[in-house]
A and B are shown apart, each in its own frame.
Chain A
Amino acid sequence: MDNLSLPASGATPAVDFDASTGVLVLSGESYPENAFEFFRPLLAWVHAFLEHSTGPATAEIALSYLNTSSIKSVMDLLDLLEAAHRDGRQVSVRWSYHKDNDRALEMIEEFKEEVTLPFFIVPSGA
């Protein structure tokens, strides 16, 4: 299966989904006009990856701001990972944020509340 890689744009995050390692990187900010359109191929990729392979999936997320329709889409992504986790797949989320950004931390914690998979919140920045 092909990797999925997109550079960040003004309102969309950088994406780097690697099928060989199962590492899914999302970083930057996300507030496109149509977040559902933007996330649809990402969700389809993750869905296919989880279907067609058995290796671990690790989401390495560094999203610092999401508009509400992006929040809904990221929730869909976490739901896919959560379902795989419940099926016994090795799945984890590592979400980093700048330690001064309280709002990002609150957002990440609210995502974490929604799932039971291993979810690590990692502060960064001196």
Chain B
Amino acid sequence: MDLFEIKEQLRGAGILVSFNGSFSHSLIEELGTAVKKYLESAEAKPSAMMDVFSVYIEAAQNVRNYSERRLAAGAGKADLEANILVIARRNEHYEISAGNTIDAADVPALTERLGRLADMDKAGLKALYKEQLRRERAPGEDGAGLGLIEMARRASEPLRYGFTPIDGGLSYFSLTVVI
């Protein structure tokens, strides 16, 4: 394997941090610390640093929670390990991208949700955030249902997303947040 070539490709694409594999909580934490240190050394503005870190955490924890749920529901391990997380610097913006395998059955609801967020301005997103903050949590829910809204609020443009169908009733979900 020509790692030099991969390294050059990453550099060419402005990729600062990339991870491919199964997310564990300790990994999310360690990578988060590395991301923070990098941004500090690159003298990023404190607000940009907070935005990148926050979007990174929400994206990684969303992927991790989703994988845990699928695993609990009896999904195979292999497709849960195909998680990708990338932080890039492009055109004076930071971009955080996350990719993971999801059930094809979840695509319509997620598409609808992301489409709604994409149509909202900052005031609308804040209102939705407050509404979700005040919603009663269902028993067994692992997140607050605020992650995507939070990412949309921190983003400087609408969230970019796509789904690639995979065999076996699965789909690969990719999400990019531009800060």
Q: Is the CB of A65 within 8 A of B53?
A: yes
**Shortest beta-carbon distance from A107 to chain B in Å:** 9
A113 to B130, CA, bound (A): 10
Q: Is the CB of B61 within 8 A of A72?
A: no
Q: Is the CB of A33 within 8 A of B64?
A: yes
A34 to B142, CA, bound (A): 7
A100 to B43, CA, bound (A): 13
Q: Is B57 located at the chain interface by the 8 A CB criterion? A: yes
In B122-168, which residues have CB < 8 Å from any A CB? Answer: 126, 130, 133-134, 137, 142-144, 146-147, 150
Spell out B's residues near A (CB within 8 Å): 25, 28-29, 32-33, 46-47, 50-51, 53-54, 57-58, 61, 64, 126, 130, 133-134, 137, 142-144, 146-147, 150
Q: Is the CB of B33 within 8 A of A67?
A: no
Q: Is the CB of B143 within 8 A of A69?
A: yes
**Shortest beta-carbon distance from A10 to chain B in Å:** 5
Q: Is the CB of A31 within 8 A of B57?
A: yes
* CB contacts between A and B, total, < 8 Å: 60
Q: Is A4 located at the chain interface by the 8 A CB criterion? A: no
Q: Is A75 located at the chain interface by the 8 A CB criterion? A: yes
What are 30 pairs between A and B in contact, CB < 8 Å? A10-B29, A11-B29, A31-B57, A31-B61, A32-B25, A33-B25, A33-B28, A33-B61, A34-B142, A36-B142, A65-B50, A65-B54, A67-B58, A68-B143, A68-B144, A68-B147, A69-B142, A69-B143, A69-B146, A71-B144, A72-B133, A75-B133, A75-B134, A100-B46, A101-B50, A102-B47, A102-B50, A103-B50, A110-B130, A114-B133
Q: Is A104 located at the chain interface by the 8 A CB criterion? A: yes
Q: Is the CB of A68 within 8 A of B50?
A: no
Identity of the chain B residue whose Cβ is nearest the Cβ of A101 in the assembled complex:
B46
Chain B contact surface mostly: helix
Chain B residues with CB under 8 Å of A11's CB are 25, 29
Partner of B54, one of A33, A67, A110: A67
State whether A68 and B51 are in contact (beta carbons under 8 Å apart), knowing that A31-B57, A34-B142 are contacts in the complex: no
Chain B residues with CB under 8 Å of A72's CB are 133, 137, 144, 146
A32 to B54, CA, bound (A): 13
In A43-77, which residues have CB < 8 Å from any B CB? Answer: 65, 67-69, 71-72, 75
